Amino acid sequence: MSYRIRFHPAVTDDLNAITCWLIDYAGPQSAARRLDEIEATIASLTDLPQKGNCRDESAPELRAVPAGRKAVVALPSTVKPVRCMSTP
């Protein structure tokens, strides 16, 4: 079973800002690796959209999914998964 990921418009801006910061901090190769880890974690939600740990202590109804060793993908736990049929 597969689900479709839809990004909030701010996600692109956030990923661009993270990438720019990482390039300045650790260089372009490290930034590319970290961005790949974040994108792979997001893509993994198509198979298991409810994964992650509840982080109500940080914000109500927040889930966090580790992305690599030092990043976290955060999303609301109120998101309702919707099944998506694959097309060839």
Q: Using one digit for the tens of pLDDT, what is the confidence trace for 42-83?
A: 989 888 888 888 888 888 888 889 998 888 888 787 766 655
The topology under which CATH files domain 9-79 is: YaeB-like fold (3.30.2310)
E-strand spans in 1-88?
A: 2-3, 53-54, 62-67, 71-76, 83-84
The pTM of the full predicted model, rounded to 2 decimals, is: 0.76
Span 22-33, mean pLDDT? 96
pLDDT for 74 equals 83
The domain locations on the chain are: 9-79
Residue with tokens 């992650």: 52
For the chain, the straight-line distance linking the first and the last C-alpha, in angstroms and rounded, comes to 15
Residue 62 DSSP symbol: E
Mind listing the pLDDT tens digit for each residue in 5-21?
A: 888 888 889 999 999 99
pLDDT category of residue 33 using cuts at 50, 70 and 90? very high
